[in-house]
């Protein structure tokens, strides 16, 4: 495997999303790692919230009082019937067989915030700390992953839990959806691989260039503009 490939595969939802947002930024921060993505306050606090909820729902620690407003929804999840897995790290091979998160044959990897396993169905939930957005794209990957990890499931229910408001966005999938889900993601991975093969990482200017991109003017003419 050449160095470029070693740095773009395995992929995750967030790596594909970063690539789609701006290939140049992705290349500089994730492939050659010339530039470090700064940790934002939102990321730091989001990580803390995830840890607190992992411990609470997993039963290893009480919910810290500063997250009291999340107790109701987190308790509902904790009390939902079924075997619970929290912050479940998965890997899948290109043939969509389970592998290690850091396995040598891992093609895609991810972390599922909460999985509830029942005899015939699986529920996958994702805590969201930001502002609610209507976008079920990530849920599709979670569903595809769950169908590959627990192939006995006749149904996969997925949901975003918007912690600020307690709102829930849900979507249900069946094994019939799996081929289309992975065809779609494979096409996106193919574009990422083509960038790697051709060493072609175009800049994709957007509203992020002015204040939110760390690459610097020497790496991209749009930075700060």
Minimum CB–partner distance for residue 38 and ligand SF4 (Å) = 13
When asked if residue 24 is in the footprint of ligand SF4 (CB under 6 A), the reply is yes
Question: Which of 8, 19, 25, 129 is the binder for ligand SF4 (CB under 6 A)?
Answer: 25
Contact 161, 126 (CB under 8 A): yes
When asked if residue 31 is in the footprint of ligand SF4 (CB under 6 A), the reply is no
Contact 82, 61 (CB under 8 A): no
Question: Which of 22, 139, 156, 163 is the binder for ligand SF4 (CB under 6 A)?
Answer: 22
Task: Please choose, from the candidates 69, 84, 82, the residue with its C-alpha nearest in 3D space to the C-alpha of residue 162.
Answer: 69
CB nearer ligand SF4, residue 114 or residue 220: 220
CB nearer ligand SF4, residue 30 or residue 50: 30
Minimum CB–partner distance for residue 185 and ligand SF4 (Å) = 22
When asked if residue 145 is in the footprint of ligand SF4 (CB under 6 A), the reply is no
Residue numbers at the binding site for ligand SF4 (CB under 6 A): 22, 24-25, 203-205, 208-209, 213, 215, 220, 222-223
């Amino acid at each position: 495997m050449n160095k470029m490939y070693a740095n773009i595969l395995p992929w995750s939802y967030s790596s594909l999303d970063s690539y789609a947002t701006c290939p140049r930024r992705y290349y500089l921060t994730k492939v050659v790692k010339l530039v470090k993505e700064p940790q934002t306050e939102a990321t730091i606090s989001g990580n803390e919230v995830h840890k607190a909820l992992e411990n609470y729902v997993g039963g290893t620690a009480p919910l810290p009082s500063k997250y009291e407003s999340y107790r109701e929804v987190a308790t509902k999840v904790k009390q939902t019937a079924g075997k619970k897995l929290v912050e479940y790290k998965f890997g899948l091979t290109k043939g969509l067989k389970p592998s290690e998160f850091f396995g040598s044959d891992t093609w895609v990897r991810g972390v599922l915030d909460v999985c509830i396993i029942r005899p015939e169905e699986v529920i996958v939930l994702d805590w969201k700390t930001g502002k609610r957005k209507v976008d079920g794209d990530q849920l599709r990957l979670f569903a595809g992953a769950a169908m590959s990890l627990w192939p006995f499931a006749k149904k996969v229910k997925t949901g975003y839990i918007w912690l600020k408001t307690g709102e829930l966005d849900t979507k249900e999938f069946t094994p019939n959806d799996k081929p289309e889900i992975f065809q779609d993601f494979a096409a996106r991975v193919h574009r990422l691989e083509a960038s790697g093969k051709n060493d072609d990482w175009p800049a994709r200017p957007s509203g992020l260039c002015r204040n939110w991109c760390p690459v610097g003017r020497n790496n991209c003419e749009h930075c700060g503009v």
